[in-house]
Amino acid sequence: MENELHYLEISELSQLLHSGKISPVEVTQAQLARIEQLDGKLNSYACAATEQALAQARQAEAELARGESRGPLHGVPIGVKDLFWTKDMPTTAGTTIYRDYLASEDATVVTRLKDAGAVILGKMRMTEGAFAIHHPELPAPNNPWGAAHWAGASSSGSGVATAAGLCYAALGTDTGGSIRFPSAANNLTGLKPTWGRVSRYGAFELAASLDHVGPMARSARDVLWLLSVIAGHDPKDPTSLPGGSLEISGVSETFEGLCIGVDESWLSDGVDPAIQKGLQQIIDFIREGGGVLQAVCMPDTRTVSTNWERHCGVQTAIAHEATYPSRAAEYGPALSRLIDGGRELSGLDYQRILLAAQRFTGEVDALFNQVDLVLAPVQPYAAPTYGQLADLASDPEANRRLIQFTSPFNVSGHPCLSLPCGFTRQGLPLGAQFIGKKGSENLLCRAGIAVQRVSDWHKQHPPGI
């Protein structure tokens, strides 16, 4: 078991913890030892909380020994992206400006994890301010599937650590694809919930109306369990949706009765044949599992994906106005460029962006009067090399194509579940996603569970790690 312990799904580990076959302290010690052994090369942790994690594990061990269960996450070691406030660890948001920032309270999602008995292993590295690129003075996480390849966008540390067995799951955020990109790059399952489903209180802001908080894990079932803990209205976040946490009992594990929309041209235009093959296999799973496939015509995503950086830039300029431009010299070039672009945009041009966003949102809402979910890639190809990624920065159309399947649904606020759908000939993971109507996270996770019942893509792990 020791050799396989670090790659268990939460659902498997939870059974061992609650049965007493293994203790939270043993699991936490094993995770901390693995972080010490491997993270010098992977760079996934900004801060490992050794003493705090062991104290939480000892408390969980004592409670479980007394028969006191706080739920399925009790005693499970989890990582937290380094933009969520933690009162016992610094929160840097991937910047040098906030290198020593210590919040006076935990973010709501961190509080909810702790209340559920989870063990917080530490803070995960991320891009500067949760935008595209890591600060040039800080280490970037390395993709365990291939160090020359992108580890995903801002939640890259969360993706690398979970994929490499350095935590059992992690919290991320997604403003243009930053849960879904690292999930695809690292062979994970990740959920961008409906906007407002999960509180953003205590999370450093990139773009308020585009930011989504969500879980990254090794399976759709684990994602559902995590979401059931962190979701729900938060009085501290007035934009959070009303209602309590999600129910996870009784969720079906099949496609029976679900109608899945497929836009053949959208799935194939410029999309790598290996990803098309994975999508076709998922289509076969849907058909064989009793689901209904329906041809749909997706609303045009070109305008909103073209507008995304300017849309984000205006809101990022507001989020950083206390330190930019007054401390601009301490910013990296990518985040500086984003903020400068936002500050320069006219009010008239921003209003045009907002009107286009409203039209697109209405069109997607109308689409879900026809179908329950829509199938799509996460991106048109596997994780690019860092050389290829640098080329994207100088080619606006190529960059738009990269985010065409992700950023539109940050604009519209619809939930999306990213999940593995195969590998390239070189062994790099590939990602698909289901997109759902607002509030349909249960259906999304149900679809993910249904795929993962009949496939083993999600059970593959980085070679040699």
Strands 259-262 and 292-295: parallel
Strand order, beta sheet including 416-423: 45-48, 119-124, 77-81, 170-174, 212-217, 189-192, 416-423, 429-436, 373-377, 259-262, 292-295
- Spatial distance between the Cα atoms of 207 and 344, rounded to a whole number of angstroms: 16
27: tokens are 């699991």
Report the C-alpha gap between 125 and 46 in whole angstroms: 5
Angstrom distance (rounded) from CA 255 to CA 349: 43
Residue among 153, 147, 212, 213 at smallest CA distance from 335 = 153
Q: To the nearest 10°, report the CA torsion of 276, 279, 280, 284.
A: 170
Q: Which of 95, 72, 81, 52 is nearest to 202 (CA)?
A: 81
Let me know: does 167 contact 47? Beta carbons within 8 Å: no
**Three-class SS of residue 79?**
strand
Map residue 14 onto helix, strand or coil.
helix
The tokens for 225 are: 């369990």
Can you state the angle between helices 273-288 and 441-453, rounded to 10 degrees? 100
* Per-residue tokens: 439: 């509030």
Indicate the burial class of 426 (C-beta count within 10 angstroms; 0-12, 13-18, 19 or more): exposed
Given phi > 0 = left and psi -120 to 50 = alpha, else beta, which region is 70?
A: alpha
Question: What Cα–Cα distance (Å) separates residue 208 from each residue in 196, 201, 403, 414, 435?
Answer: 10, 11, 19, 15, 21
| Helix (H) or strand (E) run with residue 27 in it | helix 24-42
Catalytic residues: 81, 154, 178
H/E stretch holding 225: helix 220-230
